[in-house]
Structure 1
Amino acid sequence: MSKEVKPVSMSMHPLGGRTEVTSDQEPLCVFGTGDMGRSLGQRLLQTGYKVTYGSRRPHGCGPVPQGAQVMSYADAAHSANVVFVCVHREHYGFMEKLASQLKGKVLVDVSNNPEQNLYPEANAAYLQKLLPGSHVVKAFNTLSAWAIQNGPADACRQVYLCGNDAEAKQAVSEVATKMGLTVLDRGSLSSAQELEDFPLQLFPEWKLPLQIAVALTAFFFFYVLIRDVVYAYVVQGKDISFRIMVSLANKVFPIVSLIMLALCYLPGVMAAFLQLYRGTKYKRFPNWLDRWMLCRKQLGLLALAFAFLHVLYTLVIPIRYYVRFKTWEYVITQIKENQTIKFDTTVAWRTDSYYSVGILGFALYLLLGITSLPSVSNALSWREFSFVQSKLGHVTLFLCTLHTYLYGWDRFLRASTYKWYTPPGFMLSLVVPSVVLGLKLLLLLPCVDRRVTRIRRGWERKEHDEEKTLLT
């Protein structure tokens, strides 16, 4: 039996409509008429293939794409050399009865499981064991039915596949390529478990950043809660618990945002000093540092999200009932006592600088977030991307840190600031970014920067020492 797919010539409608075939079509078979089977069949028809569906109820399986035929599993198996198996693993049993009809054919397993480690072996491996005379290829399972139906116009272009038979994989690759998709061969069928686990992962690259964000948010929320609300109730006898919803949240969000932004640039600084210490770039970083550096993008995007929340919460401050009440209370008191307040130029400069620096920092923050999007970063050269993410990134960190310093101003000199002898949250948030900026300044010193640049261009201290020894 030949497993090659016949070439097809077609003209595609610019909007993705039905194609007009100008030569012989290669018939393909789809087992299953569910969402995945219908979407896959529709896309194959648009690509120019003849499609035959296999169903346990040929006359009552529901609507199928126009132009496709519906038959019993046995009849459909005779119609094509490539069969897409769009049924769940628990229903594979019927195919054992079709072993003779499916012998030598290519079976494309597109199934996934509801959770990981549900079965002792991959679905594709199990199907290969049921039908040893067939050639099972795992493919298309990483794409949803919706993505397949929309095709490459939705930027869902990658198809992972694996299988033990090279000709069978080639046949499936040709079909995927004609559908406008990019094929990535992951090797033998032993990789099927990895491919089946891939769609079940829940934000694997975001796990560590989310844990850091949750931990920082929880810590500073309870820290600020104790210093502000609990302290006021215990020491002053005031119930200001209503401030939890806006005031406390608007203290926690900028704190977490600033610390997480600093954590994006701390590992790069640490890596540079580690290379200086080792005198080479050819030694691997510790695993924890590698992992940290690989999740900097996610850390930055989460930091931007907290900065957004801080901006939104700040915008609602003037319309809060508490703020309006205190404003009118203060105005009425001044009128009753016939008092006036002298304009303080220093305070005006400080508050305007505080707002201006914050606005500039947030604007660069947005630029960092936008350039981290794949559609934008792919359009930038490496130098442009490095300039934005590194140089402008450190400028962003400096502006946000300066924004926090201007907010605190001289409060660290006041005894009332240290409730229960604890520093306010904004002072704690300045520790990490101040350390990062200080270390970065050291790296910018000409003597240090020159050495780091040489190391990153391949220079090693060991070779330099050996050269000096030979010369002496």
Structure 2
Amino acid sequence: MAGVGENANKRETICIFGTGDFGRSLGMRLLKSGYPVVYGSRDPKNTTLLPSGAQVFSHAEALNTSKIVFLAVHRENYEFISALSDQLDGKVLVDVSNNLKMNQYPESNAQYLSQLVPKANVVKGFNTVSAWALQSGSLDASSQSKKNKTMQMSKVLSWRLDLYFALGMLGFALYVLLGITSLPSVSNSVNWREFRFVQSKLGYATLLLCTAHAAVFGWDRFLQPKWYRWGLPQAYMLGIVIPCTVLVLKLILITPCVDKMITRIRQGWERVPKDQEVPTHVNNSSLA
């Protein structure tokens, strides 16, 4: 009974003609799936690049081990197939080739193979799959399901992303508004108070939003040494140095004590030396 079970679980050997990129990738994927793989090659001694676990024989010897044959060679190299017509009798021959150009031949490669080996069951398949896809396993549903794990979304990362995009969109909108008001046709149609408000108040608001946008992008990276490659700060850190300096200086200028003094200077006030000060009161004794 044990022997019957082993025979039932034993998978059929697959034969592959062609040891190029696609043939090697297909053999590697079949071996990982548990199928024995036998290669048919013109040079059976050259097994350097073939996947581990596969066997290599001549074309005729490889056909004796399998009923399913994958033909992974170009049409220009089909000349050896005709000599194997009798051995391919009743076997499944899978053509995986593609021509270099559309309508390059009057018939398809599978039709041409049916003419060369009429006793074989020629089918077309795997011609839309690349060798890279077979090697990387991107088409393997079982491996993809293991990789696709559901990760819990961090609340901090969630509101950080929302804040990042919100600041960026608002800053860009105000930046566009500043650009429009700078046009001569627009600036000439507004009074100086409106122009000053847009270029000054909204200008600093735009600078603040854009700087905050860049700061939220970096977040706490400036505190982590791993982000300082070769001891150099990242580009976003250098990009916010001047805006932060401008904002800090502006913050100093709008403090009440400084702003009051600047307002007086703008209104024409000048500091008079003490020796040139005019007395603002009259002595009571002189009035008597």
Larger radius of gyration: 2
Q: TM-score under structure 2 normalisation?
A: 0.48
Task: Give the structure-1-normalised TM-score.
Answer: 0.30
Higher helix share: 1
